[in-house]
Structure 1
Amino acid sequence: MADVVGDLSSFSFETGLTDDEKKLLYLRARSAGLTFCGCAHAAFLCKLVHSLRSQTANRDSVASGEDGDLCVGILGLGHMGKQLLLSLLEKSGIKPSHIKISSRRPESAVKCIPAGVECFFDNRRLAAWADVLFLCCLPSHLPKVCADLRSHLAKRCLVYSFTSGVPVSRLAQLLGHNFIVKPQYDFIDGDSADVWLSCTHLTTALTDPLLIEASCPLTKSGGIFLGLNWVCAVLYSLLNICTSASLGSSDTLSLINSLLKDKWQHTAELNTRSFISASCASSLHTDEPFPWISLADAQTRDTPLLCFLSSSESMQQCISAAYKSLLQTPAKKTL
């Protein structure tokens, strides 16, 4: 059906705004861009973790269920929680039966969640079950949420926080947990930010190569920049997952490099000294796991990985290629 008011300027959103209000219209694009980037980056991380686990599924210490599939929890079903759920189902390849949601009003969520996704109100149950736990709650709810989660999170559970205004170091204190990723977005002025105005439907937008390119963590083309600290946290997450599985450092490096180099045929490669100091690397045997890395520290301090990535344009290109390839590859539909 044709839009009968499509050509009538008096029905447009901008009609009636003052000049000062029109100067703030860029916030619409920024809001849409933040939602898209947040969901796309979370889906990318889950695809990497899912792929890593699938390659080590025969190890009992990795598998949390009989099939070893990744278990993803979403705490909070507001705007961000709903958009994240759609993104993971569309892009990650994770089964609906392996996604659970804790919401204060689970009865009202029935109409907006797909079949197979379980929704309840029990933060502790969700924390004990999940391999990756997304925090999509309001900052005002965070102290109570953290009190619920504290002591119920397994060390191997990766917490990913979308809660604004709370730095990762504070979150680590509240949770008593250091396996946490907290994206920190920066904004760059420019006309390129208007690209996000096309994000009216997220699942459709996630198939747009232009938007995927604009959301790439190591580019600034979309006016929203994430940067190397987040990339370091993602790579250290993969390292910790292998460590929790008692995987030797040599096998760990081989797996992580294969996830990235499969998408970028180049000589760039991560090695032991890319992740840990030279003194630690020299004493680490190939069959010995990497030490556990505090992600809270990795996102707030200079690390060997940050130094390596900062000086390796080739590895940055490799990571960007992996990001775009993984998001542009349709997820296998599973039940």
Structure 2
Amino acid sequence: MEDVTAGLSSLSFENGLNEDEKKFLHLRARSAGRTFCGCAHAAFMCELILSLRGIVRRHTSNRGSLDSGDDGELCVGILGMGHLGKQLLQALLEKTSIKPSQIKISTRRPELAVEFVQAGVECFFDNGRLATWADVLFLCCLPSHLPRVSADLHSSLPKHCLVYSFTSAVPVARLAELFGHKHILRPQYDFVVCDTPDVWLSCTCVTTALTDSLLIEASCPLSMKGGISLGLKWVCAVLYSLLNICTSASLGSSETLSLINSIFKENPVQLNAQSFINSSYASSLRSDESFPWISLTDAQSKETPLLRFLSSSESMRQCISAAYKSQLETTCTTTS
């Protein structure tokens, strides 16, 4: 629908503010930017996981060791259907290969999800059921809701389920304690002074904004602009989650590295065992032996070999950035 107020400055949000109030306009830009970046980064992570799972499935099928319990589909749960939950869901449907049938929502307000239910997304209110089913579980709830949510999920989360928390006020170590679960990823966004914070003010609708190449560039995890930054530890946690997928599939370290490297086709620098684990462990790891399961809580709170590798490898950082921009600039048609 066309915005009939477009171009009418007298009807703009800013026009009703006094000079003192206008000093806080940057907070509006920050909020919009954080929502945009949060959804874009989550979509990128999901597409990486989906790509690797597909490669692993084909690989194990070809060698005759397919796990019959794996149907190849990524099960994505969203807990909470407020503003962020809705924007995230729209981003996943438009910017990843995930189909509506692969997504379930748990919310107290199912009326907010009617349009998505009509498109094929299942909606109910049962947090434990959602956690038991999901491979990736997005927490889009308020910090005040966490005690109840953690009580619902504490005995329901399978080891492989990746919990992705948008609840920014609660550190990842505390989340791990609340849920009794260490496979948790929490993006840590920081705000810095810059000359272009207003770049995010056009993000009134995330899916519309995700078609803007300038905003995609500004949100690139390793070179963010517009006064918002996301540290390397988030990228490390995402890559370690890929490693854990291969470990869960009982793949040897050599196979694991080959499959993960295949996702980043344009990278001249190959990830090796020392990229992920300390050199002494890597030197004793047989090619047919799986990598150890990596705690994402530790990956985000400690200095890891992967953090040191990414910090020193500009080519790997550029490759990840290129993969991010390539994915977001591709529109997926999953809602048809």
TM-score, normalization by structure 1: 0.94
TM-score, normalization by structure 2: 0.93
Task: Tell me the distance in 2 between the aligned counterparts of 1:102 and 1:330.
Answer: 26
- Tell me the residue number matched to 1:319: 320
Task: Tell me the distance in 2 between the aligned counterparts of 1:7 and 1:161.
Answer: 38
* CA pair 166-2 structure 1, distance change in 2 beyond 3 A: closer
Structure 2 regions of 5+ residues with no counterpart? none
Write the letter of the residue equivalent to 1:280: Y
Contact 1:72 1:98 in 2 (8 A): yes
Deviation at 1:6, TM superposition (A): 4.5
Deviation at 1:284, TM superposition (A): 0.5
Does residue 22 (structure 1) correspond to residue 22 (structure 2)? The answer is: yes
Which of 227, 237, 242 pairs up with 2:241?
Answer: 237
- Tell me the residue number matched to 2:166: 162
Write the letter of the residue equivalent to 1:10: S
- Tell me the residue number matched to 1:182: 186
Task: Tell me the distance in 1 between the aligned counterparts of 2:22 and 2:305.
Answer: 45
Write the letter of the residue equivalent to 2:318: Q
- Tell me the residue number matched to 1:330: 331
Contact 2:127 2:149 in 1 (8 A): yes
- Tell me the residue number matched to 2:224: 220
* CA pair 203-285 structure 1, distance change in 2 beyond 3 A: same
- Matches for 1:89-128 after TM superposition, within 5 Å: 89-111=93-115, 113-128=117-132
* CA pair 62-169 structure 1, distance change in 2 beyond 3 A: farther
Task: Tell me the distance in 2 between the aligned counterparts of 1:288 and 1:99.
Answer: 33
Task: Tell me the distance in 2 between the aligned counterparts of 1:64 and 1:225.
Answer: 39
* CA pair 10-98 structure 1, distance change in 2 beyond 3 A: same
- Tell me the residue number matched to 1:12: 12
Deviation at 1:204, TM superposition (A): 1.7
- Tell me the residue number matched to 2:279: 278
Does residue 201 (structure 1) correspond to residue 205 (structure 2)? The answer is: yes
- Tell me the residue number matched to 2:293: 292
Task: Tell me the distance in 2 between the aligned counterparts of 1:6 and 1:330.
Answer: 26
* CA pair 217-8 structure 1, distance change in 2 beyond 3 A: closer
Structure 1 SS opposite 2:86: helix
Task: Tell me the distance in 2 between the aligned counterparts of 1:54 and 1:208.
Answer: 29
Task: Tell me the distance in 2 between the aligned counterparts of 1:2 and 1:81.
Answer: 25
* CA pair 78-108 structure 1, distance change in 2 beyond 3 A: closer
- Matches for 1:11-50 after TM superposition, within 5 Å: 11-50=11-50
Write the letter of the residue equivalent to 1:278: S
* CA pair 52-62 structure 1, distance change in 2 beyond 3 A: farther
Structure 1 SS opposite 2:15: coil
- Matches for 1:124-139 after TM superposition, within 5 Å: 124-139=128-143
Contact 1:74 1:135 in 2 (8 A): yes
Structure 1 regions of 5+ residues with no counterpart? none
Indicate the RMSD between aligned Cα atoms, in angstroms: 1.9
Structure 2 SS opposite 1:172: helix
Write the letter of the residue equivalent to 1:191: D
- Aligned residue pairs total 331
* CA pair 272-142 structure 1, distance change in 2 beyond 3 A: same
Structure 1 SS opposite 2:287: coil
Deviation at 1:291, TM superposition (A): 0.2
Percent of paired sites with the same residue: 69
Deviation at 1:12, TM superposition (A): 2.1
Structure 1 SS opposite 2:177: helix
Structure 1 SS opposite 2:16: coil
Task: Tell me the distance in 1 between the aligned counterparts of 2:68 and 2:311.
Answer: 34
Structure 1 SS opposite 2:286: coil
Contact 2:217 2:224 in 1 (8 A): no
Between 1:223-232 and 1:9-18, the stretch displaced more is 9-18
Contact 1:135 1:159 in 2 (8 A): yes
Does residue 192 (structure 1) correspond to residue 193 (structure 2)? The answer is: no
Task: Tell me the distance in 2 between the aligned counterparts of 1:328 and 1:63.
Answer: 35
Between 1:99-108 and 1:233-242, the stretch displaced more is 99-108
Contact 1:63 1:69 in 2 (8 A): no
Which of 145, 151, 156 pairs up with 2:155?
Answer: 151
Contact 2:119 2:335 in 1 (8 A): no
Write the letter of the residue equivalent to 1:308: F
Contact 2:106 2:126 in 1 (8 A): yes
